Amino acid sequence: MSGTAPAPARRREPGRTRMFLRRIGAMLLKEVLQLRRDRVSLATMITIPLMQLLLFGYAINTQPRNLPTAVLLQENSDVGRSILRAMENTRYFTIVKQTRDEQEFDRLLQSGTVLFGVEIPANFERDLRRGDRPALLVAADATDPVGSGSALAALNTLTTTALRWDRAIPDTTSPPFEVRAHARYNPAAVSQLNIVPGLLGTILTLTMLIFTALAVTRETERGTMETLLAMPITPVEIMLGKIAPYVVIGFLQGSLIVGAGALLFAVPIFGNLALLAVLTTLFIATNLSVGYTFSTLAQNQLQAMQMAMMYFLPNLLLSGFLFPFAGMPQWAQWIGETLPLTHYLRIVRSIMLKGSTLADLRYDTLSLVVLMLVAMTIAVTRFRRTLD
Amino acid sequence: MTIPAPAADDPHSIAIDVEGLTKSFGDTVVVKNLTMQVRRGLIYGFLGPNGSGKTTTIRMLCGLLTPDSGRGTCLGYDIRTDAAEIKRHVGYMTQRFSLYQDLSVRENLEFVARVYGLPDPRAAAREAITRLGLEGRAEQLAGALSGGWKQRLALGACTLPDPQLLLLDEPTAGVDPKARREFWNEIHALAAQGLTVLVSTHYMDEAERCHEIAYIAYGDLLAQGTVSEVIAASHLTTWTVSGPNLVALAETLSKRDGITMVAPFGTSLHVSGPDRAKVDAVIAEFRTDPALTFEPAEPSLEDVFIDLMGRAQGGAAPARPS
């Protein structure tokens, strides 16, 4: 444009609507240009729906199969073996352990190694042949009612079908034996008892991630990082100093959830409250370390938030919070094992509902420690000590 | 503030000593083979056009960037290996205000005092607040301060841990003249106590307040020394011309051989060139015009820098006044 003003009389003013559309067009073009440079946002738009589809489609199974099952054999009989085979044939159960030791049987259930325990009582075959309709005792770990529900339902149909071809059984219209299922740990299958501990883990994951995901990017964006780097303070010191206050906040948040759960929903705490507190603190620190790692990887605060959300999604779906862990295919379980929430959910459900001890939970505790150290190591090595 | 302990008896001891520093970002060489020395207790002005590598050099000096090649020491500490020690003894004031906007003046200063491990952070912060004249604003959020006060606070924060060397990156950009003057008085007071100050600036009047200056353009160090040394070394011949119709005259003069720079200064023109004989010949030709008054003049620092900048780009200086 030259400096001379256009003669207004001669120039035809474009219509109001044209100008309206033109200005919208200008804005639209600018947004598209900016979006094109924001690769992470674009990646998020593609990754999140794709991840949801794949996880819901392939990993999640609300009718979990192949649930680990232990068998307590009080007698060794053909009929018992037939029933066990029939159980496996339903594909709901996978017998991982057969034992004659009642204590071991209990321990397997207590530690969460198996979700079902089947007890074939003494004299089962004799009673069966007599037509006494003996009971097959099934103990189900009901800390996760979704997981055990459909398998228990399948057991009842088993009573009529399992021994259909066994000629030695008196032919009656009623089933030759009955299944006496006993839901351990949450016998009434109250969903709050399962949801409250789960929520504790999920809420802590989300809030702790958000707190620290912005920790480093905020400093970089506001320009304070340069001052911080020019001062005699090391990356480890910066990280620990930034994480520490949120451990306290997370702990208060956790206490609030547990307290409200106990008061409002009468969620019991069978285990040691101090153990729960210690392991919850460990879980909080692990999540903070993961969030902090995102903030060292992200270029800006938006990216850090997007990373946190992308990480939270598999936590929600693959940890066993919404859907039974045992029902997922092997690959999804492996991914689940790398998520802190998976281990914490086992810990918190076990302590609150089963009264488990640290010895029962050593694998999950150790996993949390390892995940925390891995995250911290990545964060410290990724932290740019210089502006290079 | 104490006189720096190491080698304080030697007035010529060197605070900054770097040789052949080079730094590139991608394909762009930002600092090229820079060699310079700054004596202790001096205020050293660091000048150069935008993007000339001043900030990069300062960042290399305090260990925030690693040079691609070259070596150097800062307060006797190696800039490559002793970054931790350098950080302890060097105060760095960034170009952009980089204290916490959502902390108060007092909280910011106490934070800095704690990071440096001062024995009594509260007392140190209180002392700094008094020294800076920020008493009434101690509880104000740093983000709410005006430009001048922010800059004062930033200077206060980087002198708080009692450094031996201050690196100030364009500390007075966007600050009013009164605040600038007070700032420079403070810098001179600090230097008088034995502190070495390296300060980058675009302002010529500030350059003249420095003990020594260095001019860096596109990564090259073009001139170094006291202001008069730098001016003398330029070998620039300058005349001032006053009279009517200076715009047309400037146009004509700038096209003449030997004249590299014509710049308006108020009601007169500065006409300069590197070759005295050629400049004088051109002037002699125009001097016959009775309406014009010609006077030989000392080139100003700005003349010298514009000339240097033009040479650095490999062509003639932008001669025409815009």
Contact A179, A139 (CB under 8 A): no
CA distance A254 to A260: 10
Q: What is the mean pLDDT of residues A312-320?
A: 88
Residues B40 and B174 in one domain: yes
Q: Is the pLDDT of residue A293 over 50?
A: yes
Highest mean pLDDT (candidates A110-119, A211-220, B99-108, B171-180): B99-108
Global pTM?
0.77
Same domain, B223 and B255: no
Pair B246, B162 in one domain: no
In this predicted structure, what is the pLDDT of residue B72? 92
**pLDDT tens column, A270-289:** 888 999 999 999 999 999 99
User: Under CATH, which number does the domain A67-184 receive?
Assistant: 3.40.1710.10
Percent of chain B with pLDDT over 70: 93
Angle at B214 between CA B211 and CA B217, to 5 degrees: 155
The answer to whether B118 and B137 have CB atoms below 8 angstroms apart is no
- Closest-CA distance, A387 to chain B, in angstroms, reads 6
Q: Where residue B321 falls among pLDDT bands split at 50, 70, 90?
A: very low
Does residue B146 belong to any structural domain of this protein? yes
The domain that holds B225 is classified in CATH as 3.40.50.300
- pLDDT greater than 60 at residue B1: no
Residue B202 lies in a domain: yes
Q: Which residues of B touch A231 (CB under 8 A)?
A: 87, 112, 115-116
Top mean-pLDDT range of A73-87, A177-191, A236-250: A236-250
Most confident of A51-65, A92-106, A140-154, B191-205: B191-205
Partner residue facing B101 (CB), from A222, A229, A232: A222
CATH of the domain at B297: 3.30.70.920
pLDDT digits (tens, 9 = 90+) for B304-320: 888 888 776 644 334 33
Beta bridge partners of B73: B17, B78
Mean pLDDT of B236-252: 88
The residue in chain A having the minimum alpha-carbon distance to the alpha carbon of residue B157 is A227
Which one has a higher pLDDT value, A346 or A4? A346
Residue B320 lies in a domain: no
pLDDT band at B4 (very low <50, low <70, confident <90, very high): very low
Rounded to the nearest 5 degrees, what angle is found at the Cα of B279, between the Cα atoms of B317 and B252?
A: 65
- Does one domain contain both B266 and B176? no
> A145-195, pLDDT tens digit by residue?
666 777 777 777 777 776 666 656 666 666 777 788 777 777 666 767 778
Whether chain B has a CB inside 8 Å of the CB on A388: the answer is yes
Average pLDDT rounded to a whole number, residues A3-25: 72
Q: Name the band, by pLDDT with cuts 50, 70 and 90, for residue A299.
A: confident
Residue of B nearest to A230 (CA): B87
pLDDT of residue A146: 67
Residues B122 and B189 occupy one common structural domain: yes
Counting residues of chain A whose pLDDT is more than 70, the rounded percentage is 89
Is residue B319, in this structure, part of any structural domain at all? no
Q: State the Cα–Cα distance between residues B75 and A354, nearest whole angstrom.
A: 64
pLDDT tens for residues B35-84? 988 999 999 999 988 888 899 999 999 888 999 999 999 999 999 999 88
How large is the average pLDDT for residues A293-308? 88
Q: Which of residues 198-257 of A touch B (CB under 8 A)?
A: 222-227, 229-233
CB spacing of B64 vs A230 below 8 angstroms: yes
Same domain, B31 and B116: yes
Query: Lowest mean pLDDT: which of A42-51, B136-145, B190-199?
Result: A42-51
Is B56 in the same domain as B159?
yes
Would the CB atoms of A387 and B64 count as touching at under 8 Å? yes
Domain ranges of chain A: 67-184, 191-382
Q: Is the CB of B94 less than 8 angstroms away from the CB of A231? A: no
List all residues 6 or more positions away from B145 whose beta carbon is below 8 Å from its beta carbon: B105, B137, B153
What are the backbone dihedrals phi and psi of residue A168, each rounded to the nearest 5 degrees, phi first?
-80, 5
Supply the range of the domain harboring residue B240: 235-312
More confident residue, B60 or A73: B60
- For chain A positions 120-149, those within 8 Å of chain B (CB to CB) are none
Among the candidates B199, B230, B261, a domain finishes at B230
Q: Looking at CA atoms only, how far is residue A220 from chain B in angstroms?
A: 10
Residue B200 domain flag: yes
Distance CA A194, CA A352 (A): 10
Same domain, B243 and B226: no
Interface test with A, best of B59, B81, B162 (most A CBs within 10 A): B59
Last residue of a domain, one of B210, B230, B250: B230
Buried b (16+ CB within 10 A) or exposed e, A342-372: bbbbbbbbbbbbbebeeebbeebbebbeebb
The total domain count for chain B is 2
CB contact under 8 A, A233 and B94: no
Q: What is the pLDDT of residue A1?
A: 43
Q: B62 contacts in A (CB within 8 Å)?
A: 230
- With 0-12 / 13-18 / 19 or more C-beta atoms within 10 angstroms meaning exposed / middle / buried, residue B244 is exposed
CB contact under 8 A, B63 and A227: no
pLDDT of residue B7: 44
Q: What is the per-residue pLDDT for A281?
A: 93
B322 falls within a domain: no
Residue B1 lies in a domain: no
Question: Are A233 and B100 inside 8 Å of each other by CB?
Answer: no
The pLDDT value recorded for residue B67 is 92
- Of B163, B196, B230, which residue constitutes the final position of a domain? B230
What does the mean pLDDT of chain B come to? Answer: 86
Backbone angle region of B257, left / alpha / beta, with phi > 0 → left and psi within -120 to 50 → alpha: beta
Q: Are residue B221 and residue B240 in the same domain, yes or no?
A: no
pLDDT tens, B260-272? Answer: 888 888 888 889 8
Residue B21 and residue B112 share a domain: yes
Region B149-175: what's the mean pLDDT? 91
Find out whether B279 and B271 touch, Cβ atoms under 8 Å.
yes
Pair B300, B223 in one domain? no
User: Does residue B120 surpass a pLDDT of 60?
Assistant: yes
